[in-house]
Structure 1
Amino acid sequence: MSAPTPSGLSVVMKRLVRTVMVFICGAAGYQLAKMAIELGWWPSVTLLHPVATTVVIIIISACFGFILAPLFWLSVSKFAQFTESKLQNTSVPELTVSLLGLILGLLLANLIALPVSRLPGGIGVYIAVLLNVALGYLGLRFFAKRKDDIWNVITNIGDIKLRLPKRKKKNANGEEEKGADIEVAPEFYYSIPKILDTSAIIDGRILDVAQSGFLEGTIVLPRFILAELQGVADSTDPLRRTRGRRGLAVVTELQKVSTLNIEIPETTLKDLERDKVDEALVVLARQLGGKVITTDYNLNQIAQIEGVSVLNVNDLANSLKPMLLPGENVEIDIIRIGKEPHQGVGYLDDGTMLVVEDGYKRIGERVKVTVTSMLQTSAGRMVFGRIRP
């Protein structure tokens, strides 16, 4: 037997809807007739017996449902088409939050409908249906309008674990082991902890990144990292001693950055059951669900093998390196005179301004330019060059 065609399926659905509508309206007519007879709404002197009266009302109500069924089916079809067109342009977060609002609205409607459903004559049932429709719609609309805020709360709810006290393990002697728990300020509840490595501290560039506002949240500086840094600062080698003192100065400056929450857990290598600092950092990052900030290539590889995220300062520097270097040649169109009378100005493909020395004579022409220098400011980047002979 072949599957029904879409048109055949549509005919079956129309008949099913009409049957359901006739049944619902007939049932409603029966309840209406019963209530009218019990409350004395129907005249006592009548040509029709109460049973006949009930049958007449049921037939009239069923006919009413039969007439309304096509309109109801048309409304459902239009609504389905409208919903399908809207869902095609709806993101997953918006759809999820809207469904959550619909569910909460329906739950609230059913809580209110519990006492209402006890009204006599079956009226409470219809009121309950109206409450479900109204509050379900209101919940959906409210959550859809606040979808960004609600979705942020949903996605960050896992970070609430940072606020909860953790149960410490006990060793064989019954003493509590020192864990890697950290206390987080309220404004940093929803930030992923970032664990600093000694190499990133001594490098110093992480301080510039933090002061520019690109690094924020909770920064974890374990006690064993500070101890290693102190050992470098106390070295007899002048070069190592200078690097260690620079690292300690970087830590002091990081504590002054308002967007950072510096935490120093009293965690040792013994607590983490590791002998090497790199391995202990990886274990600590896994326990805290955080990321490791480093410039050490070997630590980067170990962390990736262990499945721990790494923020490599060297990778950040490579991603921000200039596209052009002094000595490189480019072709541009000189379009106007520069700030100085002898200069010409053109633009690279990415919109960067290129100031050409003695370019005022070649305005409107496409020339080859050799890059001589670059100037990077907070307002953007500017390249200087001269016309290639």
Structure 2
Amino acid sequence: MTQDLLAMNQPGLGEKELMNMSFLERWLQWHSAKPVAAILITVPLILMGILGGIMIASITFRNLVNFSARFENMDVVDKLAMFVGLAIGLLLSVVFVPIIASQAGDAYPFLGIVVFVAVMYASVWIAMNIKDELKAYFPGLARSKDMGVQEFQKPKILDTNVIIDGRIADICRTGFIEGTIYIPSFVLEELRHIADSPDFLRRARGRRGLDILNQMQKELNLVIKEFESVDPSDEKEVDEKLVKAAKDIGASIVTNDFNLNKVAALHGVTVLNVNELANALKPVVLPGEEMTVSIIKEGKETNQGIAYLDDGTMVVVEGAKKLIGETVDVVVTSVLQTVAGKMIFANLKAVQEEEDELIDRNIRTYSSVRPRKKAK
């Protein structure tokens, strides 16, 4: 451009004068000297600028929407760390940007923006990554006036099995589960995959789980959460992702899966097992109590019949093999607690009464025939 202006011998414009002119002034001089060439260059540049602006605006808007959704689901500690990082970034920018401006010259506007964005990003990134380390050195940061309440109401993460099971909805509705309830996006994706299964039973289980989630989302404090530390495209098992997500946010896992229970315990993650809760809430049955049950099948041992209580507890009745399909009165003889649950052993009430009567008769007979000691 400078050579073109010199070649045109513009009056009053020497090489030194042109070199001292700003880029905009030289552009205007060249535009007035060669309008056709300037238009041929300016129009494509304007079109490229418009297209680039539309693309950048679209990407920026989409990222802002995603950030807004993620920000709402962020923990309080993460939000606090982000604001601290922004404040530190602003302070550093006030210090460094003027220094760079004094050295940058004409490139100050572009370079100043780059430095400002870089400093802000680095400050936020560092603050988000050292928040856990700061808690170790400054325990007071992890405390608050209602620390006990926060500890008691730590967030809960539901796994796929407990959602399909369905009892968790009733438990949450009664108020026994407090705090925010999270559904990880990869758990929701697994439910959708099960609901689309060609197998009828799996498809029914998946759709039941989705229906329960919809019901819980309407009635309870349920949040569908994306976990930044867990890559949704990762091919790891869902159980491993659940444990990692729970460790990252300090949450408890609610499940009825025995294997997940063991894996989470090995990683130091608190587990709330619905099956253990159900066993704990079963009524206590003591030997000697009477109950009415329906014999539905044979037992493993000779002459045994099997019945079930309303809560699913198995009752093994001696001498009831021939009474399948009948409702009988039984007397509890013993209770066995196993890992799988509780088993009750019982005798038929009529048989038990005969045995008790026989024992009483024997005791009376023994007492009557026992010789008495002679008085001295």
Fold match by TM threshold 0.5: no
TM-score category, normalised to shorter length: 0.3 to 0.5
TM-score of the superposed pair, with normalisation by structure 2: 0.38
Give the greater-gyration-radius structure (CA). 2
- Which structure has greater helix proportion? 2
